[in-house]
A and B are shown apart, each in its own frame.
Chain A
Amino acid sequence: DIVMTQSPLSLPVTLGEPASISCRSSQSLLYSNGHNYVDWYLQKPGQSPQLIIYLASNRASGVPDRFSGSGSGTDFTLKISRVEAEDVGVYYCMQPLETPWTFGQGTKVEIK
């Protein structure tokens, strides 16, 4: 199985300040079609996860442009340009390149 490793696991942030989460995979997620197969999900408190980013850098429908994804191969990053109160929760990276699809451990983002 492809192992997804996130850091940090906990991220206290100040409202209006930027935040960054790293995700590393145990093997390359760059496919022959040129796409990197990494998704990012946010699980808000008491809710199911929701898609934020797919194919490493594409925002899902309705996701604010303060969210951005980048990276290639085995190293990926999710950035929030200015954290808002509604952004708190646990962020997960996931690889949908090979079955079984696998998730990172999650990064808990909270307001300082």
Chain B
Amino acid sequence: QVQLQESGPGLVKPSETLSLTCTVSGGSISGYYWSWIRQSPGKGLEWIGYIYYSGSTNYNPSLASRVSMSVDTSKNQFSLRLSSVTAADTAVYYCTRDRRDGYNYVDYWGQGTLVTVSS
């Protein structure tokens, strides 16, 4: 059974960079698409972007200027960086595994990690 676990600081100061890592266990990161999705009371569920195991990426245009993702296949991990954060970036951040082979759905979710942006 594939499991995903988010890790990273729960508190980030305004204007700084949010950094999260997702560790995948029970399966290989190779061959799949991996996304970050966040959930806030104000905006509901928002897809941030995905990274393919090869390193190719696709970001939500609304966040693209501030987002970068990377993957480390040797550690079975992928990461999110979101720069210049504001209070509006406060949310629960989920890492997910996606199927994008014509079926297209999220089949595994991490438990989520709350990130609060505050000084």
Contacts and interface: CB of A to CB of B under 8 A. Distances in A.
Interface of A: 33, 35, 37, 39, 41, 48-51, 54-55, 60, 92, 94, 96-97, 99-103, 105-106
B109 A50 contact: yes
A15 to B, nearest CB: 27
15 contacts: A39-B104, A48-B110, A48-B111, A50-B109, A54-B104, A60-B105, A60-B107, A92-B44, A94-B45, A96-B104, A99-B60, A100-B47, A100-B60, A100-B62, A106-B44
Interface in B22-60: 44-47, 49-50, 58, 60
Main secondary structure of the interface of B (DSSP, over half): strand
Contacts of B44: 92, 103, 105-106
Interface residues of B, number: 22
Given A48-B94, A102-B47, A103-B44, A54 B105 contact: yes
Contact of B61 (A35, A92, A96, A100): A100
Contacts, number: 53
A contacts with B: majority SS: loop
Contacts of A33: 102
A41 B47 CA distance: 14
